[in-house]
Amino acid sequence: MTPPETVERMSILTCPNCGHSKAEKMPLNACIVVYDCEGCGASLRPKSGDCCVFCSYGTVPYPPVQMDGRCC
């Protein structure tokens, strides 16, 4: 188990539709299941089997996944 103080909070989300990327700070206690792309306006949702958009489209997985290997 990774200590919370070593968890990476920043992730770069990349839209699969238009390729727009943006660095976002991930919350520690809430899955983000809808993210609106600033490039094309698409509403991104997690891929099947993923808990949130960070696990599906980010460079770093959601903090609980980093700490425990599982999500909320």
pLDDT by 10s per residue, the chain, length 72: 556 678 899 999 999 999 999 999 998 888 899 999 999 999 999 999 888 999 999 999 888 888 887 766
Which domain range does residue 57 map to? 7-68
pLDDT at 66 (0 to 100): 84
On whether residue 2 sits in a domain, the answer given is no
> Is 50 contained in some domain?
yes
Count Cβ atoms within 10 A of the Cβ of residue 54 and give its class: 0-12 exposed, 13-18 middle, 19 or more buried: buried
Residue 34 lies in a domain: yes
Q: Is residue 57 in some structural domain? A: yes
- pTM for the whole thing? 0.84
DSSP letter string over 24-60?
EEPPSS-----EE-TTT--EE-PPTT-SSHHHHH-SS
11: tokens are: 């992730």
Q: In which residue are the tokens 């958009």 written?
A: 53
The pLDDT of residue 2 is 58
* Structural domain count, the chain: 1
pLDDT of residue 68: 81
Bridge partners (DSSP) listed for residue 44: 35
